[in-house]
Structure 1
Amino acid sequence: MVYVSAPVRRQQIVAAARRVMARDGVADASLRSLAAEAEVPLGTMQHAFKSKRELLQAVVDDVNDEIADVLGTSTTSDGGLEEVIRRNLTTFWSRLVTGHSELQLMQYELTTHALRSAGHERLANWQYRRYSESVADWCEDAAARAGEQCAVPFEQLARLIVAGLDGLILQHLCDPDDRRSAQDLEALITMVVSLADIQPPPSA
């Protein structure tokens, strides 16, 4: 048998868990079914993750890392906060929403499952805190690079961006319409930029 290190094994299990949850739903994803998908004994699964809650948190982290990787290529510009907001939101939509309904549905299921499962409630809090912190970080970095000022705290701006995207994604999942969603995303970007009331750096 080929030796597989613990970190690699954990990542293999997380990848398998994402496939099963996207295909069958979070509630129906038992440790046994996840072990079968990952092609590992149930004992190996339970050694890697002591509980389903621990595995779900690893899935949340993995999804968030994927989002951060997608957005990371858009945050190196010195063009300013508005440019980065516009580029990041459109990049996010094109690469992680369009054609990826199963990923988005899984994320919502992770939230509702955590909120409805005793002892898992903090997972939902962690999930959205990570989303918001990631957005706040690249907003603050973009403004700092350009020497700009934002009219609202970056933490609040990030929460509103996440909330706006959530609403648009849910509507798109319920009634897929690429043209309408593109128009609504543009409107959301306009509203966010207006709220930020971005001030340019002071003249030298």
Structure 2
Amino acid sequence: MPYVEASVRRRQLVAAARTALSRDGVPGTSLRAVAAEAGVSLGTMQYVFPSKELLLRAVIEDVVSEIAEVLRDSADLGKGLEHAVRQALVGFWTRLVVGRADLQVMQYELTTYALRAAGQEGLARWQYERYCGVVAEWCQQAAQGAGETCAVPFGRLARVIVASLDGLILQYACDPNDTRAREDLEAVIEMIVSLAGVRRSA
């Protein structure tokens, strides 16, 4: 087997894990199954990811990076927080929700798996800390870049955004009604903008 740089191998295994997890679910995905999906030996798999928990953390981090990229690409942060929220939440929905049921169901399964598996509760907590962390940082960058203040702490604003989107995504996964979902998303955006109470810094 030809040598593959460690960072490249890691990305290959995370991509294979996302495919296997989306297809077979979290409980049904083992390190052996991911190794087979990636076309590598179990020994190679275990060298990079000695445990399933470490692999799941890497998958969550990969999803968080994808979310952060979509947020960055969807709005000009120099135009302020309200602009960023309006543009990026629609961009997020279009790129990561519509037609991406496999991604969304996988994320819910990661959470419920961690909450049910003895000793893995911390993984679920860390998952949502990462989601909220990247959103809070993005909100803060948008506000500060435009010389604005926010009426609530950025951490709280991020938690409300994540919680609101979670609810809409779960409903959409159960009943993918595009018209209703878009109307509800617009309502959520208005609530978030109102909560943020954006003002120009003195």
Q: TM-score range by the shorter chain?
A: over 0.9
Distance in structure 2 (CA, Å) of the matches to 1:180 and 1:75: 24
State the partner residue of 2:69.
69
Corresponding position of 2:39: 39
Aligned partner of 1:200: which letter?
A: R
**Which amino acid is 1:88 matched to?**
A
Q: CA RMSD in A?
A: 1.0
* Aligned equivalent of 1:167: 167
Match of 1:50 in 2: 50
- Separation of aligned partners in 2, 1:77 and 1:59: 27
Inter-partner Cα distance in structure 2 for 1:43 and 1:75: 43
CA distance in 2, matches of 1:147, 1:103: 35
Determine whether 1:187 maps to 2:171.
no
Please identify runs of 4+ aligned residues in structure 1 that moved more than 4 A. Answer: none
* Deviation, structure 1 residue 75: 4.6
Alpha-carbon separation, structure 2, partners of 1:126 and 1:112: 13
Cα distance in 2, alignment partners of residues 76 and 121 from structure 1? 36
> Using the alignment, how far apart are the partners of 1:151 and 1:90 within structure 2?
22
- Kindly indicate whether the alpha-carbon contact (under 8 Å) linking 2:25 and 2:106 is maintained by their aligned counterparts in 1: yes
Aligned counterpart, 1:155:
155
| Superposition pairs of residues 91-130 of structure 1, within 5 angstroms | 91-130=91-130
Using the TM superposition, give the Cα deviation of residue 74 of structure 1 relative to its aligned residue in structure 2, in angstroms: 3.1
Which amino acid is 1:50 matched to? P
TM-superposition CA deviations, 1:39-59 (whole Å, max 9, x none): 111111111111000000000
CA deviation after TM superposition for structure 1 residue 200, in Å: 2.3
Give the deviation of 1:174 after TM superposition: 0.6
Displacement of 1:199? 1.4
Q: CA deviation at 1:31?
A: 1.2
C-alpha displacement of 1:151: 0.7
TM-score by length of 1: 0.96
Cα pair 2:75 2:83 within 8 Å, conserved: no
Distance in 2 between residues matched to 1:3 and 1:114, nearest whole Å: 34
Q: Which residue is equivalent to 1:82?
A: 82
Distance (Å, rounded) in 2 between the aligned partners of 1:33 and 1:144: 45
The answer to whether the 8 Å contact 2:80/2:142 transfers is yes
Q: Give the aligned partner of residue 137 of structure 2.
A: 137
In 2, the alpha carbon distance for the partners of 1:155 and 1:81 equals 14
- TM-score when normalising by structure 2: 0.97
Could you tell me whether the CA contact under 8 Å between 1:75 and 1:138 is conserved in 2? no
Task: Report if the CA contact (8 A) 2:77-2:141 is conserved.
Answer: no
- Provide the identity percentage: 59
Counterparts of 2:201 and 2:139 in 1: how far apart (Å)? 16
> 1:20–1:29: 8 Å Cα contact kept in structure 2?
yes
After TM superposition, the structure 1 = structure 2 runs for residues 25-36 of structure 1, keeping only pairs within 5 Å, are 25-36=25-36
| Structure 2 CA distance for aligned equivalents of residues 49 and 119 of structure 1 | 18
Q: CA deviation at 1:76?
A: 3.7
Equivalent residue of 2:200, what SS? coil
Q: Deviations over 1:139-172 (max 9, x none)?
A: 1111111111111000000000000000000000
Give 2:60's aligned residue: 60
Q: Deviations over 1:12-52 (max 9, x none)?
A: 11100000101111110011111110111111111111100
